[in-house]
Amino acid sequence: MRVHVLGTGSSGNSLLVEADGTRLLVEAGIGPKNAVARARMLGVDLRSVDGIVVTHHHDDHAGQLEPLAKALGAPRAGSSLPPMLHLHDGVGVERVRHRFAVRRYRAGESFEVGALRVRSVPVVHDAPHVALAIQSKTHTFGFLTDVGTVTSPLVELLSSCNTVMMESNFCPQLLELGPYPRSLRRRIAGHLGHLSNGQAAALAGTLARHAAAKIFLCHLSQVNNEPERALRTVRDRARDAQVEVLPHGRSRSLELAPAPRRSMEQLRLF
Q: For 25-78, how does the pLDDT look when each residue is reduced to its tens digit (9 = 90+)?
A: 999 999 999 999 999 999 999 988 999 999 999 999 999 999 999 999 999 999
Helix, strand, coil content of the chain in percent (nearest 5): 25, 25, 45
Is 265 part of a structural domain of the chain? no
Domain CATH for 139:
3.60.15.10
72-105: pLDDT as tens digits: 999 999 999 999 999 999 998 899 999 999 999 9
Asked, for residue 262, whether it belongs to a domain, the answer is: no
Within a domain: 210: yes
Question: Positive or negative CA dihedral for 206, 268, 147, 144?
Answer: positive
In a domain, 135, yes or no: yes
Q: Is residue 168 part of a domain?
A: yes
Let me know if residue 175 belongs to a domain: yes
**CA-CA distance, 218 to 226, in Å (whole number)?**
11
Of 221, 229, 125, nearest to 179 (Cα)? 221
The separation between CA 203 and the C-alpha centre of its own chain, rounded to angstroms, equals 15
Number of structural domains in the chain: 1
Residues 127 and 91: their CA atoms lie apart, in Å, by: 9
Whether residue 263 lies inside any domain: the answer is no
In a domain, 216, yes or no: yes
- pLDDT tens digits, the chain, 270 residues: what are they? 999 999 999 999 999 999 999 999 999 999 999 999 999 999 999 988 999 999 999 999 999 999 999 999 999 999 999 999 999 999 988 999 999 999 999 999 999 999 999 999 999 999 999 999 999 999 999 999 999 999 999 999 999 999 999 999 999 999 999 999 999 999 999 999 999 999 999 999 999 998 889 999 999 999 999 999 999 999 999 999 999 999 888 899 999 987 564 444 444 444
167 is in which domain, residue-wise? 2-255
